[in-house]
Chains A and B, each alone.
Chain A
């Protein structure tokens, strides 16, 4: 088989030939765990060259000044193609079979390029070039794909058993020439998509607790606030795929929670927020604050206790306080605040110098003054109100 005939394979063969020593070094590196090392050593035992074999090695790829962990998917053995020149390709799919083959979970691709049809399921394709002879034997391991681990979305964090399936096929007709599969144990250090889904669900459950805490902050839980939280829970806590019985349980749980807060009980909001911070990214945390702000505005007035708790929640949820203030401006305008606090509404901080405060208030004034000519009368009124409030605050802080 001439190099020119199958350029794709030629390149990888060359790479594989001189790679044994390099491979051992790689196996001993800190990136491979013992299980993987043993697995790879087993792969070194001579495979049956009458069939197609595959193995997976963990490797590192350099791109510019950065390195990426990757799977090197390799094959050896025989490929039986029909007579005549065949343009061959290799496709690599991966499944997570940690829970057994019967409970295999899909591995998704972050890149559209490696997604299958309309789904996000991972499938890597490479071009192997032309195979002129009907039967071809690869006597040594040849890499058919280097799969960057960052491309993949695994179902869960931790040690995962991944099943790699390699299919050699005719690029034109799609006919399969050869197929092989192997498993590889991989220590996944990032949260999987199932972990994330569960975390999101958990965070939404905690969001409901925080929302009730805001509602009960002034020791008055209005029906409009409770209804808002219940509706949010029904729409956001995943009940679409479950039975009526489970939905019923959600309703009971909500009722029980309402009762808990109505009896004057409290929850440790700081601890809840800490858990939320651990399990979900910042976008979800803004969603929680959005819900809490809407609860505070539900009855038309946000009490001092409610506003104070909202501010604490934003701090505990470790969001950008300036962004939170902008959210508050939109959802909970100053006219709804029972007491107007310049620190909360305008973002004036006690550690600001007089000059810093002046500059900050000027910036706020410029922002609101530009909004007084907004075509929405509600925004006009809010802007007029804010312009007056800033002028008053300036008298207090700068005079």
Chain B
């Protein structure tokens, strides 16, 4: 029987966990024996069919930075991003699939086939990015049975391994993204209340701040630049990361910089780092406050703060949270691994719900009491043209039908009316976003709904959106007079994303690509 796996596809590191015979998640080490695999890719110059993923790829950046890729998660779902190597344009989905393929390949070697998997994503990822992540998994040869929000996965692991009860705030500061999630936990029953996140806030941003200090110190001393090539940058990015990690343990870190104008010994103190990253930490503070406001809670209502992600090791982060909540945050489990471990648990729960007959009895029994209620990650709406109260003019606006943070499964209905006499069709737009201004929302699907001819204006159209436990959305547009119905199961093909046949073709193409 194939393994049930959970994958943390991180910005800087990725990991894979599987459920053991009694339903407990375990991290599977990669071929190098490491539990975390750097999310780095290197296209070997010598052998164009060999692509290196992991630590070797990370180190190869110093040799030829142009042939390396890092932090691809930040580009996930970006249809304009392409990495050109030897004349081939790689999409973020294809590049991510290489990392997933490496994880799958290494784990399969020791533990047997890895097929059904849940991949984690930041809570704030929109549908386009979620779909792109799923596509990457499919291209890697996985059967992606679900997507789980990283803080939810982490909390799932915490709640099933530790005594957690009450209102829990999960503070997930990873390599490239930040999420804050508030949930209500009663033993093994977890109800998500709300999530907030920042797509461009994580460890790599702290590294960049350290790197800026190094560059400035060198410039001040020699009047010249420390970094003159992409290879130099790759090297000093790693130096900066090393300094940041050292400063989590010590008050000061010393480095010798070998620059073109001469060598420089620099000392960076913890205070210097904290000053440099204070505006970034302020952004996490704002998001915590926003999440608390959304949940209608005060800091004193929070019973536990759980830390997730390597960047939570920074003392300023922990001090800041203790100051805000009045008690120290919980860091009793490995903050780098809990997302993958929770994703494996989520995969087990999904399998139990979807294909219970395929779940071994030991796993079924291990997950028996675990219950999770997730929420809608974004608001979904449609575009309409009401009369503006202030100006009396007709304005085009986005009307939210399904609100963010509504517990799943959910359904919501609103009534709209045709605008003109003899109107024979309605342009139906499905939007994702929190704004009423159409400029600021993403139109994720567009259809034409044909109506009977020769009717007066103001004919009612009933619009119903529903969202199920597997994060699938269904939209129904109903012309009440004629009984005509337009149903849309949410898919991203209209936005130029990959269709099923494209994925199949890409999956076949990726099968021939070797990763090491």
Chain A residues with CB under 8 Å of chain B are: 281-283, 286, 320, 323, 326, 330, 358-359, 361-362, 365-367, 369-375, 377, 379, 384, 387-388, 390-392, 394-395
Contacts and interface: CB of A to CB of B under 8 A. Distances in A.
Contact of A370 (B128, B129, B433, B439): B433
A391 B279 contact: yes
15 contacts: A282-B390, A283-B390, A330-B437, A330-B439, A358-B289, A362-B289, A366-B196, A370-B435, A370-B440, A371-B440, A388-B279, A391-B279, A394-B282, A395-B278, A395-B282
Given A362-B290, A372-B200, A373-B124, A395 B393 contact: no
Interface in B419-438: 433-435, 437
A217 to B, nearest CB: 26
A399 to B, nearest CB: 9
A311 B277 CA distance: 34
A390 to B, nearest CB: 7
A370 B199 CA distance: 10
A286 B199 contact: no
Contacts of B437: 326, 330
**In the complex, the 4 A-B pairs of residues with the closest C-beta atoms, listed nearest first:** A283-B391, A370-B434, A373-B126, A366-B290
B286 interface: yes
Interface string B190-207: 000000111110000000
Contact of A394 (B125, B200, B280, B286): B286
A174 to B, nearest CB: 23
B113 interface: no
Contacts of B229: none
B440 A375 contact: no
A394 B290 CA distance: 13
Contacts of A372: 198-200
Nearest to A387: B283
B282 A391 contact: yes
A371 B196 CA distance: 13
B251 interface: no
A69 B290 CA distance: 52
A209 to B, nearest CB: 22
A374 to B, nearest CB: 6
A377 B198 CA distance: 16
B495 interface: yes
B392 A281 contact: yes
A112 to B, nearest CB: 9
Contacts of A283: 388, 390-393
B391 A282 contact: yes
Nearest to B200: A384
A271 to B, nearest CB: 24
B369 interface: no
B287 interface: yes
Interface of B: 80, 124-126, 128-129, 196-200, 278-280, 282-283, 286-287, 289-290, 293, 388, 390-393, 433-435, 437, 439-442, 495
Contacts of A281: 391-392
Nearest to B127: A373
Nearest to A382: B440
Given A374-B433, A384-B200, A391-B286, 14 more contacts: A283-B392, A286-B391, A320-B390, A330-B437, A358-B289, A362-B289, A365-B287, A366-B196, A369-B287, A369-B290, A370-B433, A372-B199, A372-B200, A388-B279
Contacts of B199: 372-373
Nearest to B388: A283
Nearest to A359: B293
A71 to B, nearest CB: 25
B439 A379 contact: yes
B283 A371 contact: no
Contact of B128 (A330, A375, A384): A375
A362 B393 CA distance: 31
A388 B280 CA distance: 8
Which residue of A361, A366, A367, A388 has the most chain B CB atoms within 10 A of its CB atom?
A366
Contact of A369 (B128, B196, B392, B393): B196
A365 B289 CA distance: 10
A374 B126 CA distance: 9
Contacts of B282: 391, 394-395
Nearest to B391: A283
A369 B435 contact: no
Contacts of A367: 434-435
A358 B434 CA distance: 21
Contact of B198 (A361, A369, A394): A369
B287 A392 contact: no
A359 B278 CA distance: 20
A74 to B, nearest CB: 33
Contacts of A387: 198, 283
A365 B283 CA distance: 9
A362 B286 contact: yes
Nearest to A375: B442
A320 B435 CA distance: 18
B484 to A, nearest CB: 26
A375 B124 CA distance: 14
Contacts of B439: 330, 379
Nearest to A366: B290
B279 A395 contact: yes
Nearest to B421: A112
A390 B391 contact: no
Contacts of A286: 391
Contacts of B388: 283
Nearest to A283: B391
Contacts of B441: 374
A176 B200 CA distance: 77
Contact of A379 (B129, B287, B290, B440): B440
Contacts of B495: 375
Nearest to B433: A370
A342 to B, nearest CB: 14
A390 B286 contact: yes
Nearest to B444: A375
A132 B7 CA distance: 89
B323 to A, nearest CB: 13
Contacts of A359: 293
Nearest to B292: A362
Contact of B290 (A365, A377, A392): A365
Nearest to A371: B440
Given A362-B290, A370-B434, A371-B435, A391 B283 contact: yes
A330 B156 CA distance: 41
A265 B115 CA distance: 76
A374 B80 contact: no
Given A283-B391, A330-B437, A370-B434, A365 B200 contact: no
A377 B433 contact: no
A7 to B, nearest CB: 28
Nearest to A370: B434
A359 B286 CA distance: 10
Nearest to A372: B199
Nearest to B392: A283
A387 B390 CA distance: 29
Contacts of A388: 279
Contacts of B126: 373
A142 to B, nearest CB: 33
A285 B393 CA distance: 13
A362 B286 CA distance: 6
Which residue of A320, A384, A390, A391 has the most chain B CB atoms within 10 A of its CB atom?
A391
Which residue of A374, A375, A390 has the most chain B CB atoms within 10 A of its CB atom?
A375
A392 to B, nearest CB: 6
Contacts of B198: 369, 372, 387
Contacts of B128: 373, 375
A48 B149 CA distance: 88
